[in-house]
């Protein structure tokens, strides 16, 4: 083979190698999360998913549950008590990207909840209207790394401000995507470290979150939070 043919062969081989798609990382799906108060289980939930990775059922410790049914651009969320009786039904209207632009309780459709998202699919605004009259409004603000750093909550009693701090060196595995709820938008990139809430009367409430414990795959398996001198543990298991 002459030099020109050899170079052509190498070039062709390089192009063929570049055409091979990189493996798509498998998104960890939360199977069970449990809330502990010391040795006591406050509650736990087991989540099931459909073949598109969307949450299809969530069953709690007392056997109450939520079922999720997707049809075209709608999603029906139905709540059942431990005896299997329907407690509520919410209908979600999804846009072309699968984000929930609005939802309402089928029993009281006069109250409608609206959600607005930015180009990064982050929720930036929530509005509640009762027979067309605005009763509740929340603005969400993000930093340039993708974390929700502030909420401004406007309600009848005034404005509540929530600010958030994160463990910026740890990528979260308990986001909306990990729970199969992409319809609520893209969650914060990192794990929560601290939440500070200032009420309309300037009362400050602080919740501190521990450094998350990770498994060998980098998934959080435990994180604790402390508020008002009380500490609770969240435990996570994955499929």
**pLDDT at residue 158, as a whole number:** 96
Q: What is the pLDDT of residue 23?
A: 54
pLDDT tens digits, residue range 147-165? 999 999 999 889 999 999 9
Mean pLDDT of 7-31: 57
- Residue 151 belongs to what H/E stretch? strand 148-155
Q: Note the pTM of the prediction, 2 decimals.
A: 0.87
Query: How far lies 111's CA from each of 77, 123, 132, 155, 194, in Å?
Result: 16, 20, 8, 15, 32
Q: Rounded to whole angstroms, how far apart are CA atoms 37 and 60? A: 17
% of the chain surpassing 90 pLDDT: 87
104-137 residue pLDDT tens: 999 988 999 999 999 999 999 999 999 999 999 9
- At 53-64, the pLDDT tens digits run 999 999 999 999
The predicted structure's pLDDT at residue 108: 85
Domains and CATH numbers, the chain: 27-238 (2.40.160.190)
SS3 108: coil
Model pLDDT for residues 85-109, shown as the tens digit of each residue:
999 999 999 999 999 999 999 998 8
Q: Which of 55, 37, 35 is nearest to 45 (CA)?
A: 35
Alpha-carbon span 220 to 33, nearest angstrom: 11
């Amino acid at each position: 083979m002459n030099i020109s043919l050899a170079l052509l062969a190498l070039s062709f081989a390089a192009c063929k190698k570049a055409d091979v798609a990189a493996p798509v990382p498998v998104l960890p799906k939360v199977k069970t999360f449990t809330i502990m108060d010391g040795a006591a289980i406050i509650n736990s939930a087991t989540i099931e998913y459909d073949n598109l990775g969307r949450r299809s059922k969530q069953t709690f410790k007392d056997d109450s549950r939520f079922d999720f049914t997707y049809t075209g651009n709608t999603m029906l969320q139905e709540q059942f008590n431990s005896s299997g009786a329907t407690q509520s039904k919410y209908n979600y209207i999804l846009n072309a990207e699968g984000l929930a632009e609005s939802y309402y309780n089928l029993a009281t459709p006069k109250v409608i909840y609206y959600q607005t998202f930015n180009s990064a699919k982050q929720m930036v605004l929530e509005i509640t209207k009762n027979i067309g009259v605005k009763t509740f409004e929340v603005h969400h603000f993000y930093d340039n790394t993708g974390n929700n750093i502030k909420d401004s909550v406007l309600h009848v009693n005034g404005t509540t401000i929530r600010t958030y701090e994160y463990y910026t060196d740890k990528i979260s595995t308990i986001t909306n995507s990990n729970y199969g709820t992409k319809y609520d938008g893209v969650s914060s990139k990192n794990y929560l470290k601290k939440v500070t809430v200032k009420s309309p009367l300037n009362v400050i409430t602080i919740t501190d979150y521990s450094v998350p414990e990770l498994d060998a795959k980098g998934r959080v398996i435990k994180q604790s939070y402390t508020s008002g001198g009380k500490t609770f543990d969240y435990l996570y298991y994955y499929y």
